[in-house]
Amino acid sequence: YASPVIGKLPVASVDTGHILKILEPIWKNKSETASRLRGRVENTIINFMALDLTAEHKMLLALALKAQKNAHAPYSNFKVGAAIIDENAQLHASCNVENAAYPLGQCAEAGAISAMIASGSKKIKQILITSPNDEFCPPCGGCRQKIAEFADKQTEVHLATQSGNIKTVKFTELLPLAF
């Protein structure tokens, strides 16, 4: 799942209803798997909405969770989602895509960056990465270098767990002394 551009960030109008509308396709699917996923996503949203998050964080979270549900992770079952706000306030999201030939897989962060570049944007303002469990899921070394290509000292990296915890760091804390 990699959308070239999800849209302009409607910061003033982001609320729980708007986020749930983004996730509406999950609710319409009647399969047993979708039903289990709905419960998990609903609990995660409830946990996050209870937090005092900015509109930007809520939108990033909703998009990363939506992408995460589409992850192709048959080998690790470790589904990750990522969402980016670029310099034009456009949103981009993706998920990890595994491949039997391990090096050919793609991380969620790399997919979101590709979507951003495909849209014509060149700078990451914020990136949020959703973990499939209750542990933070920081970007791997390769993704840190990919993010570095399009980040600056002000770029924020938000790490979100399924239990509703969010940790925010400046990108320079994740990759000090980057080249």
29 phi/psi in degrees, rounded to 5: -75, 130
Measured between alpha carbons, how far is 14 from 110 in angstroms, rounded to an integer? 26
CB 75 within 8 A of CB 59: no
Please confirm, yes or no, whether 173 is among the known catalytic residues.
no
Pick the catalytic residue from 109, 135, 156, 173: 109
- Residue type at 20 in one-letter notation: L
Nearest Cα neighbor of 26 from 61, 71, 66 is 66
In the sheet that holds 166-170, the strands lie side by side as 7-8, 90-95, 81-86, 124-130, 156-160, 166-170
Of 150, 57, 67, 78, give the one whose Cα is nearest residue 111: 67
Query: Which of the residues are catalytic?
Result: 109
